Chain A
Amino acid sequence: HIVLYHRIIAMYTSATSIRAMACPRQRSSMRGEESSMRAQVAPLHQPRLSRTPVVIRSSKKVQASAQPASKGASASSASSAPKSTPKISAEEARELYRDMFLGREFEEMCAQMYYRGKMFGFVHLYSGQEAVSTGVIKACLKKHDFVSSTYRDHVHAISKGVSSKKVMAELFGKKTGVCRGQGGSMHMFDKEHGLLGGYAFIGEGIPVGVGAAFTSAYTRRVLGEEDHDAVAVNFFGDGTCNVGQFYESLNMASLYKLPVIFVVENNKWAIGMSHARATSTSSLADSEPWIYKKGEAFGMPGVHVDGMDVLKVREVAMEAVARARRGDGPTLIECETYRFRGHSLADPDELRDPKEKEHYASRDPIPRMKEYMLKNGLATEAEIKEIEKDVVAEVEDAVEFADESPKPDMSQLLENVFADPKGFGIGPDGQYRYMQPGFTSGTAAVS
């Protein structure tokens, strides 16, 4: 067999005069020498018109194993026209819609709660990027698969199956939170659902995710469990693609042929640095800093997809997950997406052009999916309203649960520092400290 790589270049069917839209770049008066260099670089914010035709080739192997994670949908038709996506059942479509709507409602509720002082510290919201989390995690991953994320991790947690109540409680810093109030917004971990974190330093989560994939491969290849097919998915942004750990991870994942998928949520901005200002062009022949092209440099397929379209993301992710489960190695997926809010709730978000924001608002994945479902008879208006009502109730329940949950006790201060509490050492009486009565309730003398 020759397994051919998929290359999907997103096509935009929006009919508005895209070229005529002013280029939402940085104010050039501030840029000095850089603006003359940048003139050669085609602005990324300007959405691309359809260019090179989509190339989807396949082998029988791909078709046969591209069974979607959820029931009902049929395998992707390999030689179909660019715009079509694998058929999706009404049930799955509604699940995906619900997941995206839940992500959005949850994040918007977080904003409210933050401004009311119930949440504190750094909170980074995912609004606008739901199609990526839903399209990859909800549509394609199973419970035993792994997800590794950055600080923008609430919706990844929810899509992976962590209860929204526990996530909200964690954000409120309560004992019933997913990390008992010790981690917070940026550090969500859940062993049961394979959520590896929650990392504040971008790039940090990537090798950890690759490590989970390594364990999966080790389990299969060394420990002999041939049915073990867990895959790991790393989520991170465009800013992360300049961190050295990203490249080190790509190299090793490819070298060791690990079942890992790198999903770049390219929302074009890292706090106030636009992707175009932070990243050089991806090859000598290029005028843009593509990230998906970096995959090929490391011997893995690199795919670019419209991250505002959950069905397109799902299609690409299905193929990448199937590849990984087969043992064919990693894939790099670049999702073009956008965060509707600032970098965090403390970010005044002054540098992004309102026109750019409007453009992406018009491509909001949730109304888009709703339209698709209505148009294709996958759900009625009434059913969609039902789903939305249910989600709103779920989020309100989560807030109530979080509100009413108790705060952590002082005893928690010294818990979970060591897996083996002998790590606290031997006290003056010659006994291990942790054996001292009252040690973890903070009343023992720790000298």
Chain B
Amino acid sequence: QTVRQIAGLALRRESNALKDSVLKSAGGALAPAAGGASFSSSSRAAGSMTVRDALNSALDEEMERDEDVFILGEEVAEYQGAYKITRGLLQKYGAKRVKDTPITEIGFTGIACGAAMQGLKPVVEFMTWNFSMQAIDHIINSAAKSYYMSAGEIKCPIVFRGPNGAAAGVAAQHSQCFAAWYSSVPGLKVLAPYDSEDARGLMKAAIRDPDPVVMLENEILYGESFEVSPAVEDKDFTVPIGKAKVMREGSDVTLVSFGKMVGYCLEAAKALEKEGVSVEVVNLRTLRPLDRETIASSVRKTHKVVSVEEGWPQSGIGAEILSVVSEDCFDDLDAPPERITGVDIPMPYSHQLEAAALPSVEDIVSVVKGMA
């Protein structure tokens, strides 16, 4: 990427080199746009794609396919997206379809719901899902419940998307995971992609879906690159909503997770393999509707299950998974199911407190070993 010079007055002592290197590694947050207007310009090895490019290309292709699709949110247009997910889309589709909004979450979410009810297909970006708390009234009461309340008269084909969960050092108000809250609401479909294939496929499926969809992405994953097969790059590639994916087969224990934690589970699986434990990793992909069948059939094979999430323990996704396992395959369990979650506190700012507040690969490994 071309590193932009930081325009600033009263700059004195810092070295530009230091600054540039920090910007480059700033996890993509507010990172400078790549030079030129082409939207998928990050050069990549054949067959690999970053999650950012996966989302960007999915949005681009769906906007091209259907004129009713439009994007709105803060900084999505001229700034190219706070996390550069909508990079290049303003240049391609114009300001009528890629709209910068004022900082007025409930206002623009409500407007988007109203537009969706009249047949358009908005994609609403929340700069982070934390800010959706200012708009949650419309997500639940307008989007999720309308089809039911109107007995099928009023559909709301809207997509809400944005980064969810903890980033790095952004403290209590920017680090909450909203998976549990949104996945408890009937009428919503709630998705949580992990890799580029998930991101691309789920985003396309979400936009084509006639129901309101909540897409919980992860900021840390945006810059990560994953291998993708040629099928993924197809314009009509979608991933079925409501179907989990077995990322890695195993026979001794099942790890169930979503989002960034899937990566941690895969790492833990590698570490455990060296110690002779064969781990199966299930990537939920969709939180609502939860793919109970895949979870249960995995447990019938391994007889042990651990759920991993970064959100808070009480009433979390892990609580749901453990209930599901107890209901569907209790007799197949050789040990009580476990859940690994974030610590039950608001996210502290200080580095090592933050690291201690979130699950790590070591935590997963030690819990699995403890079940043996």
Does any Cβ of B come within 8 Å of A183's Cβ? yes
Does any Cβ of A come within 8 Å of B324's Cβ? no
Does any Cβ of B come within 8 Å of A243's Cβ? yes
Chain B nearest CB from A363 CB (Å) reads 11
| Surface stretch bound by A, among B92-100, B236-244, B277-285 | B92-100
Question: For the complex, what is the distance from the CA of A111 to the CA of B8, rounded to whole Å?
Answer: 11
What residues of B have a CB within 8 angstroms of the CB of A384 in the complex?
none
Does any Cβ of A come within 8 Å of B343's Cβ? yes
> From residue 314 to 353 of chain B, which have CB atoms closer than 8 A to chain A?
343-346, 348-353
Q: Which one of B78, B82, B104, B356 contacts A410 once the chains associate, using CB atoms below 8 Å?
A: B356
Contacts A273-B74, A348-B4, A413-B348 hold; do A243 and B14 have CB atoms under 8 A apart? no
> From residue 148 to 175 of chain B, which have CB atoms closer than 8 A to chain A?
167-174
Contacts A346-B29, A347-B30, A351-B79 hold; do A112 and B13 have CB atoms under 8 A apart? yes
Residue ID in chain A nearest B100 by CB atoms: A273
Chain A nearest CB from B238 CB (Å) reads 31
Assess the A346–B30 pair: CB atoms within 8 A: yes
Residue ID in chain B nearest A173 by CB atoms: B350
Q: Which one of B19, B103, B351 contacts A115 once the chains associate, using CB atoms below 8 Å?
A: B19
Q: What is the total of A-B residue contacts with beta carbons within 8 Å?
A: 195
| Surface stretch bound by B, among A92-100, A197-205, A370-378 | A197-205
Assess the A271–B7 pair: CB atoms within 8 A: no
Chain A nearest CB from B83 CB (Å) reads 11
Assess the A272–B7 pair: CB atoms within 8 A: no
Does any Cβ of B come within 8 Å of A297's Cβ? no
Does any Cβ of A come within 8 Å of B186's Cβ? no
Chain A nearest CB from B361 CB (Å) reads 19
What residues of B have a CB within 8 angstroms of the CB of A34 in the complex?
95
Assess the B134–A417 pair: CB atoms within 8 A: no
What residues of B have a CB within 8 angstroms of the CB of A244 in the complex?
104, 106-107
Question: For the complex, what is the distance from the CA of A149 to the CA of B12, rounded to whole Å?
Answer: 27
Does any Cβ of A come within 8 Å of B26's Cβ? yes
Does any Cβ of A come within 8 Å of B372's Cβ? no
Chain A nearest CB from B152 CB (Å) reads 32
Assess the A273–B102 pair: CB atoms within 8 A: yes
Q: Which one of A111, A354, A417 contacts B346 once the chains associate, using CB atoms below 8 Å?
A: A417
Question: For the complex, what is the distance from the CA of A239 to the CA of B79, rounded to whole Å?
Answer: 15
> From residue 234 to 280 of chain A, which have CB atoms closer than 8 A to chain B?
239-240, 242-244, 270-273, 277-279
Chain B nearest CB from A245 CB (Å) reads 8
Assess the B345–A242 pair: CB atoms within 8 A: no
Does any Cβ of A come within 8 Å of B130's Cβ? yes
Assess the B351–A278 pair: CB atoms within 8 A: no
What residues of A have a CB within 8 angstroms of the CB of B90 in the complex?
30
Question: For the complex, what is the distance from the CA of A121 to the CA of B351, rounded to whole Å?
Answer: 10
Does any Cβ of B come within 8 Å of A55's Cβ? no
Question: For the complex, what is the distance from the CA of A350 to the CA of B170, rounded to whole Å?
Answer: 23
How many of chain A's residues touch chain B, expressed as a range?
35 or more
Assess the B349–A173 pair: CB atoms within 8 A: yes
Can you list, as one digit per residue, whether each of B61-82 has a CB less than 8 Å from chain A (1) or not (0)? 0000000000000110111001
Residue ID in chain B nearest A197 by CB atoms: B173
Assess the A341–B350 pair: CB atoms within 8 A: no
Question: For the complex, what is the distance from the CA of A341 to the CA of B7, rounded to whole Å?
Answer: 7
Assess the B8–A182 pair: CB atoms within 8 A: no
Chain B nearest CB from A105 CB (Å) reads 10
Residue ID in chain B nearest A237 by CB atoms: B103
Assess the B131–A201 pair: CB atoms within 8 A: yes
What residues of A have a CB within 8 angstroms of the CB of B91 in the complex?
30
Contacts A242-B104, A243-B104 hold; do A200 and B173 have CB atoms under 8 A apart? yes
Assess the A277–B10 pair: CB atoms within 8 A: no
Question: For the complex, what is the distance from the CA of A446 to the CA of B13, rounded to whole Å?
Answer: 48
Residue ID in chain B nearest A172 by CB atoms: B350
Chain A nearest CB from B87 CB (Å) reads 13
Q: Which one of B4, B100, B105, B131 contacts A350 once the chains associate, using CB atoms below 8 Å?
A: B4
Chain B nearest CB from A69 CB (Å) reads 28
Does any Cβ of A come within 8 Å of B114's Cβ? no
Q: Which one of A170, A240, A351, A364 contacts B78 once the chains associate, using CB atoms below 8 Å?
A: A351
Assess the B102–A279 pair: CB atoms within 8 A: yes
Chain B nearest CB from A396 CB (Å) reads 12
What residues of B have a CB within 8 angstroms of the CB of A117 in the complex?
22
Chain A nearest CB from B23 CB (Å) reads 7
Does any Cβ of B come within 8 Å of A357's Cβ? yes
What residues of A have a CB within 8 angstroms of the CB of B133 in the complex?
201
What residues of A have a CB within 8 angstroms of the CB of B172 in the complex?
182-183, 187
Question: For the complex, what is the distance from the CA of A358 to the CA of B105, rounded to whole Å?
Answer: 33
Assess the A349–B7 pair: CB atoms within 8 A: yes
Question: For the complex, what is the distance from the CA of A186 to the CA of B74, rounded to whole Å?
Answer: 20
Contacts A33-B95, A122-B174, A201-B173 hold; do A184 and B10 have CB atoms under 8 A apart? no
Does any Cβ of A come within 8 Å of B32's Cβ? yes
Question: For the complex, what is the distance from the CA of A404 to the CA of B22, rounded to whole Å?
Answer: 24
Does any Cβ of A come within 8 Å of B6's Cβ? yes
Residue ID in chain A nearest B3 by CB atoms: A348
Residue ID in chain B nearest A244 by CB atoms: B106
Assess the B350–A346 pair: CB atoms within 8 A: no
Contacts A200-B171, A410-B356 hold; do A340 and B10 have CB atoms under 8 A apart? yes
> From residue 1 to 59 of chain B, which have CB atoms closer than 8 A to chain A?
4, 6-15, 18-19, 22-23, 26, 29-33
Closest 10 CB pairs of A and B: A121-B169, A184-B349, A272-B79, A173-B350, A181-B350, A242-B102, A120-B169, A278-B102, A200-B173, A340-B9
A positions within 8 Å CB-CB of B: 26, 30-34, 104, 108, 111-112, 114-117, 120-122, 127-128, 170, 173-174, 179, 181-187, 199-203, 239-240, 242-244, 270-273, 277-279, 340-352, 354, 357, 360-361, 364, 407-408, 410, 412-414, 417, 442, 446
A–B complex contacts, Cβ < 8 Å, 21 sampled: A32-B94, A33-B95, A33-B96, A108-B10, A108-B11, A108-B13, A121-B349, A127-B10, A181-B348, A184-B170, A201-B133, A201-B134, A242-B104, A244-B104, A272-B75, A272-B78, A341-B8, A348-B30, A351-B78, A357-B7, A446-B344
**A-B contact sample (4 more), CB < 8 A, given A173-B169, A199-B173, A278-B103:** A115-B15, A173-B351, A244-B104, A410-B352
